[in-house]
C-alpha cells in the first residue's frame, strides 16, 4: 500500500480537476451546447477515450460543471452576505455586487446555470441542491432583518401556502410575506443581470453599473432593509 490514499487516488483526483479546468476553458470559448469531450481531451493532450475513465458521459461532465458553477457563485454570495455585524442592508448590497462581479467574470458559467437550459440535458438532485445556495444566502440576510411587511396587501392563500412550503423545506423561519418578497427580489436581480449579460441593454443602459446600483437600492427598500 502506498502513501495516504495512494498514488493512484491522488493522481485520479488531480486529473479529474484538470479535466474540469479544461472543460471550463472550453465552456468559456464555445459555450455549453458546443462543449465536447474530444475538445477537452485534446486540450489536455490525451486521447478522447481516456476522459471516459473520469466521466462516464458528456452529461456527467456537464453536471460537474453546473454543480461547480453553482458552488462558485454560491460561495461568492455567501461570503459577501456573511459580513457579520454589518447591518443587513449593507450585506444585501454586498451580496448583489458579488453576484454581479461573479457573473461578469464567469459569463459562460452564468449562462450555463441561469440561461436557457442546455437542450437534451436534465439536471438532478445534485444540481438542484447546489443551485439553492445563492437564494439561501440572500434569504439569510432577509431572515436576519425581520422586515416589516404588514402594510402590504394580503397574499392569496395559494401563494401563502407555497411560501410556507418553501420555508419549511429549507428549514427557515421566514414569514410568507417576506418569502414572497425575497423571491421577487431574487428574480428581479437575476433578470437585470441576465439582460445585462445577454445584451438586451445594449445601446441603452449598457454599462449598467449605475442602473444596477439604483436597482439594488430599490430592491433593498422592497425588502425593508
Closest to 19 (Cα-Cα) out of 38, 2, 34, 5: 38
Closest to 31 (Cα-Cα) out of 146, 150, 121: 121
Looking at 59, 71, 90, 222, which residue binds DNA (CB under 7 A)?
59
Closest to 122 (Cα-Cα) out of 48, 47, 62: 62
Reading the block at residue 51, the C-alpha cell is: 476522459
Residues 26-45 that bind DNA (CB under 7 A): 35-39, 42
79 binds DNA (CB under 7 A): no
Triad 77, 81, 84: Cα angle to 5°: 150
Rounded to 5, what percent of the chain is helix, strand, coil? 70, 0, 30
Minimum CB distance to a second copy smaller for 62 or for 189: 189
Minimum CB distance to DNA smaller for 6 or for 117: 6
Residues 35-74 that bind a second copy (CB under 8 A): none
Interaction site with a second copy (CB under 8 A): 30-34, 111-112, 114-117, 119-120, 123, 128, 131, 153, 155-156, 158-159, 162-163, 165-166, 169, 180, 183-184, 186-192, 194-195, 198-205, 209-211, 213-215, 217-218, 222
Amino acid at each position: 500500500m502506498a502513501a495516504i490514499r495512494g498514488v493512484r487516488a491522488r493522481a485520479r483526483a488531480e486529473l479529474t480537476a484538470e479535466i474540469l479546468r479544461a472543460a471550463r476553458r472550453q465552456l468559456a470559448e464555445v459555450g455549453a451546447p458546443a462543449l465536447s469531450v474530444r475538445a477537452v481531451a485534446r486540450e489536455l493532450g490525451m486521447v478522447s477515450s481516456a476522459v471516459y475513465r473520469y466521466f462516464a458521459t458528456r452529461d456527467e461532465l456537464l453536471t460537474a460543471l453546473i454543480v461547480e458553477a453553482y458552488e462558485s457563485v454560491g460561495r461568492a454570495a455567501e461570503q459577501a452576505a456573511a459580513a457579520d455585524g454589518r447591518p443587513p442592508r449593507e450585506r444585501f448590497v454586498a451580496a448583489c455586487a458579488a453576484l454581479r462581479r461573479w457573473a461578469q467574470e464567469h459569463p459562460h458559467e452564468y449562462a450555463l446555470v441561469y440561461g436557457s437550459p442546455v437542450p437534451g440535458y436534465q439536471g438532478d438532485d445534485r444540481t438542484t441542491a447546489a443551485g439553492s445556495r445563492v437564494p439561501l444566502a440572500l434569504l439569510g440576510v432577509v431572515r436576519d432583518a425581520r422586515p416589516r411587511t404588514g402594510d402590504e396587501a394580503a397574499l392569496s392563500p395559494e401563494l401563502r401556502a407555497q411560501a410556507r412550503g418553501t420555508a419549511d423545506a429549507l428549514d427557515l423561519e421566514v414569514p410568507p410575506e417576506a418569502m414572497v418578497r425575497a423571491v421577487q427580489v431574487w428574480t428581479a436581480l437575476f433578470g437585470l443581470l441576465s439582460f445585462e449579460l445577454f445584451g438586451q441593454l445594449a445601446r441603452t443602459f449598457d454599462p449598467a453599473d449605475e442602473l444596477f446600483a439604483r436597482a439594488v437600492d430599490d430592491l433593498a427598500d422592497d425588502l425593508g432593509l
